[in-house]
């Protein structure tokens, strides 16, 4: 799922030299699921469950939703790597993945990814009271694999399109508890949608040369001086800052959340403004790091504010 397909997930191949073949194969399958990516996806799912639950702690719903969504996310990651195996082979940061390196074959990865995705949707449908959560998980899977992934080679708008399935995980959690899409769920969706744009533009700027070589049409690939990239970063950071304050205006968060959201938003906007002035790899990395602090920080503040009633 796109909300967490970040540079931080691009670790070297997991199978060390000397590991026995069976264990190495298992490690390769685990690598296909992008476990580091899944952590943030499942965190946002958990946020949706906990916020929808209010003062209650819906443990079983939380457990089932996380397990089912983990399967869906793992399947989507595997199919993403199956589809992009040729472009991955052209980029240094991904050439050691199981498929481009030849450690796994395309058919087995396709079957593995599809089986995980379908089993995750089925698990959610069978274990949760509200079918809408399973339907949202299915939509996330299809949009990410069948729409966003192919569009990365066709249009620089792929980041915006991919931000839709990337913003659905907290709604899966919310609907697992409530069974409906409310304005509170809509705010979670908007926050995650807007956050993804500067986050992924920073990554794309850092690796624009490799993306260009692989034929991926990210905005920084067609924006050599970075002007449009920086403008988009600032625009979406400002929009995110405004949307992040909506829970306060709706009376769903208090002073603790307001103070923290203001500070986090200021930090994020400041790094984007810095990128407009210094369009360098280092500054793009600062934007990326700020994004990785911003989202968990904002959601933790929202949970704390709700729990403490401040």
Q: For the segment 40-49, what is each residue's pLDDT rounded down to a tens digit?
A: 999 999 999 9
In this prediction, residue 10 carries a pLDDT of 42
Domain ranges of the chain: 1-6+18-181, 182-310
- 249-308 confidence digits (pLDDT tens): 888 889 999 999 999 999 999 999 999 999 999 999 999 999 999 999 999 999 999 888
Report how far Cα 207 is from the mean position of its chain's Cα atoms.
18
| Residue 167: both structure tokens together | 């913003």
Q: Which fold has domain 1-6+18-181?
A: Tetracycline Repressor; domain 2 (1.10.357)
Per-residue confidence band for 174, with pLDDT thresholds at 50, 70 and 90: very high
């Amino acid at each position: 799922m796109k909300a967490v397909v970040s540079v931080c997930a691009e670790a070297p191949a997991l199978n060390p030299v000397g590991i026995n073949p069976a264990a190495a194969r298992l490690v390769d399958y685990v690598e296909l699921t992008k476990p580091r990516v899944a952590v943030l996806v499942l965190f946002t799912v958990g946020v949706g469950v906990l916020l929808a639950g209010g003062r209650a702690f819906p443990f079983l719903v939380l457990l089932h939703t996380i397990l089912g969504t983990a399967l869906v996310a793992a399947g989507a990651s595997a199919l993403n790597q199956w589809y992009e195996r040729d472009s991955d082979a052209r980029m240094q940061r991904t050439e050691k993945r199981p498929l481009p390196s030849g450690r796994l074959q395309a058919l087995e990865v396709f079957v593995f990814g599809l089986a995980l995705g379908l089993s995750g949707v089925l698990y959610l449908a069978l274990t949760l009271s509200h079918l809408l959560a399973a339907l949202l998980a299915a939509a996330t899977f299809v949009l990410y694999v069948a729409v966003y992934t192919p569009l990365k080679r066709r249009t620089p708008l792929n980041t915006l399109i991919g931000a839709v399935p990337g913003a659905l995980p907290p709604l899966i959690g919310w609907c697992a508890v409530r069974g409906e899409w409310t304005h509170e769920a809509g705010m979670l969706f908007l926050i995650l949608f807007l956050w993804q744009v500067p986050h992924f533009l920073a990554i794309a700027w850092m690796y624009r040369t490799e993306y260009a070589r692989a034929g991926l049409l990210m905005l920084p690939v067609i924006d050599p001086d970075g002007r449009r990239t920086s403008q988009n970063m600032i625009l979406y950071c400002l929009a995110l800052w405004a949307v992040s304050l909506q829970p306060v205006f709706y009376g769903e968060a208090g002073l603790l959340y307001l103070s923290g959201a203001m500070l986090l938003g200021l930090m994020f906007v400041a790094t984007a403004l810095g990128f407009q002035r210094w369009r360098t790899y280092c500054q793009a990395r600062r934007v990326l790091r700020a994004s990785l602090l911003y989202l968990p920080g904002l959601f933790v503040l929202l949970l704390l504010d709700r729990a403490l009633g401040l």
